[in-house]
Structure 1
């Protein structure tokens, strides 16, 4: 019976099994602005950058 010369890596095995599917991105709702955004990402709303419900940057150029 034939045996492989070297062990296959986990990533190579997972590529071969190919059961991964593309899914819709998970969206979170900001508690302050009520806007939907990607999880763990900052988002702009009315020239302010929000992350976890807090303002982290204000764009005063266009205000």
Structure 2
């Protein structure tokens, strides 16, 4: 499907992302899968930021 014909929300997905959703998470609500991934990424990023702050304060 050409980028011009893709629904607006799907413009944020890459071809690889669409492939992963279709093969690994077929039948699941895409928004829920994406939200779960974003929550995990955000939690990891916050953990890394806290770790960097702790390590920076101990120098």
Q: TM-score range by the shorter chain?
A: under 0.3
TM-score by length of 2: 0.23
TM-score by length of 1: 0.22
Structure with the bigger RCO (C-alpha within 8 Å, sep 6+) is 1
Greater share of strand residues, 1 or 2? Answer: 1
Greater share of helix residues, 1 or 2? Answer: 2
